[in-house]
Structure 1
Amino acid sequence: MRKNVVVLVLVALIAGAGAAYTFAKPKKEVRHKIDGAVYVLPKEFLVNLSDGRYAKMNVALVLDHGQPTAVEAGGHGAPPKPPEGFGTLEQEAVIRDIVTDVVTNIDGDQLIRTEGRERVKAEILTKIRRTTDVRTEDVLITDVAVQ
C-alpha cells in the first residue's frame, strides 16, 4: 500500500512538472514571411528599353502596415474616383513615373536576368523612399515580358 502511494505521488509530481513546463515556456512568435500589405499597381507597364526592345510588366509594392491604400475622403462623401488604370494608392502617379524612368534606362538582358531585376527593384525602392511619402517595404515585379 505504501509503495502505491509513493508511486502515485511521483507520477503526480512528474505530470505536474510537465504541465508547468508546457504552460510556462514562452510562446512562439508568429512571424509573417511578407510583413505588410501587397498592393498591385492595377495598370501594366509597357516601356521602351535602352536597347530598342520593349518590356511589358506588372509591378506590386509591399506596403508598411500603416500605409493607407485609399485616398482619404475630402468633405462630402466618398473620395473622387482615380483615373482609368490607376488604383487608390496616394502618389501612385509618382510611383509609376519612377518605375518608368528606371526601367527605360536599362536594356532587355538586364530585365530578363534575376540579378538585373533585383538591381532594378532595389533602385525603384530607393527612389520611392527618397521622393514619395509612400512607406514601401519592397518592390515586386510580378510579370515581365521583353521583346
Structure 2
Amino acid sequence: MVNQRLRELKPAVRERIKIVLIPTSRQDMDHLNKNIKNYNLNIEIAQEKPFLDLLHEIKPVLYLSTNSHNVKEAIGAGFGAATMFLGDYDNHSAEVLRVAFDGDGVLFSDESERVYKEKGLQAFFQNERDQEGTSLALVRMVV
C-alpha cells in the first residue's frame, strides 16, 4: 500500500519499499506463498540459501527478525538490523503505517551518545549545552 500511495503522489517514482521474506521452513514457504497470492501482496520470498548469503544478495537497508541470533549475525556483517518482539497490538489500522525509530544514529547523528560512552555523563551534558543552538546532522535515509 505504501508503494501504491507513493506512485499516486509521484507517478515517476518506482517502487520505494521492497519486502523480502526469509522463511525458516518449507512449511512456512508454502503457507506464505498461498497468502501472498490470496491477498495479492507485492512481497518476495527468498530462496533457500545460507542466511548471510541471502543478506549479501538482498542488500537490505533494514533486516527485522524475532531471531536475535540472526539479528546479531546481520549486524556483524554490516547490515542494519533489529530484533522484533511479538506482542498483542490492539490498534491495527488498514490505512496507517506506523514506524518508530530511536533518533540517535538512526534519524540523526549519534555524536552525543558517542560522547557519553567515551567521556561519561558530565561530558554528555556539557556537549548538549555546547551544541544547543546547532542543528542536528541528519542521517541519510533512502526510502
Same fold per TM (> 0.5)? no
The TM-score range, normalised by the shorter chain, is: under 0.3
